[in-house]
Amino acid sequence: MGEKDKKHYRHEWKHEITYADLITIRMRMRNIAIPDPHTVDGRYLIRSLYFDNDKDKALREKVDGVNRREKFRIRYYNLDTSVIHLEKKSKVNGLGTKYSADLTAEEAQKIVDGDTGWMLGSGRPLIEELYCKMRYQGMKPVTIVDYTREPFIFGPGNVRVTLDYDIRTGLKSTDFLNPECVTIPAGDAPIILEVKWDAFLPDIIRDAVQLKGCRVGAFSKYGQCRIYG
């Protein structure tokens, strides 16, 4: 299993939108972009398990808008545990990058259970980094974040436009490999439009994602899913 790093930094916009906005953006994107080929009927379910420490370091850095910050999560799609990724998202000066490593379901469960001895000798730098931060910074699994995503891709600029909704929290549950794990709506969570691109954002995409009265924000699904503690 290899390490998959995305070392280049990408631009990102986030907008909180209404259901009417979602319909509008969906129609526009279907005319100019293509759905992510991994979707089923144009969408997929994302389940993530986020890490933090007892001082809520990741949460506080996000809320406070710390210029250089990072967060760790384990993620899989459509409740298919045959493909699981450990991911680290880093942000510097408003630009983001992502590092990723494969995990087996057995390895992911070991991390959830606190069985971490194997991580240091895994031969996968990202897993070894997480081990060090669990060991020395007190990082640990904190909560499950579920949501539905409709993703579109556009070649020029390596653009990715996503519509995320039905955000649900597992509260303090970390049993994220269990398909029967109960999650509940994360308060009055909005629908989120995200736009990500590399060096340039094509005008056709820029125009398509414009919505009257919609401004770029800094919404955090992890933060939303911590509203109950």
pTM score over 0.85: yes
126 neighbors 101 (Cβ within 8 angstroms):
yes
In a domain, 58, yes or no: yes
CATH code of the domain containing 210: 3.20.100.30
What SS3 state is found at 25? helix
Sign of the dihedral defined by the CA atoms of residues 5, 6, 9, 14, in that order: negative
Q: Name the strand (E) or helix (H) holding 100.
A: strand 95-103
**Closest CA relative to residue 107, chosen from 136, 147, 69, 74:** 74
**pLDDT for 190:** 94
Question: CA 170 to CA 159: how far, in whole Å?
Answer: 31
Average pLDDT over the chain, rounded to an integer:
92
Please give the residue range of the domain that contains residue 12. 3-224
Residue 153 forms part of a structural domain: yes
**Is a pLDDT exceeding 50 seen at residue 1?**
no
Span 173-188, average pLDDT: 94
| Furthest C-alpha separation in the chain | 52
Element (H, E) at 187: none
Report the distance separating Cα 54 and Cα 152, nearest Å: 37
Question: Please, which residues have CB within 8 angstroms of residue 136's CB and are 6 or more apart in sequence?
Answer: none
The answer to which of 1-10, 43-52, 104-113, 202-211 has the lowest mean pLDDT is: 1-10
* Residue 213, pLDDT above cutoff 90: no
Residue 170 lies in a domain: yes
Indicate the number of domains in the chain.
1
Asked if residue 4 has pLDDT above 80, the reply is no
- Count of C-beta atoms within a 10 Å radius of residue 48: 20
- Looking at residue 51, its pLDDT comes to 97
The DSSP result for 110-142, as a single string, is: HHHTT--GGGGGSS-HHHHHHHHHHHHS--EEE
Give the C-alpha separation, 12 to 95, whole Å: 7
Q: What is the pLDDT of residue 6?
A: 47
Residue range 65-113, pLDDT digits in tens: 788 899 999 999 999 999 999 999 998 888 899 999 999 999 999 999 9
Task: Indicate whether 229 belongs to any domain.
Answer: no
pLDDT reading at 216 higher than 80 = no
Q: Is residue 99 part of a domain?
A: yes
Pick the residue with more confidence: 144 or 67?
A: 144
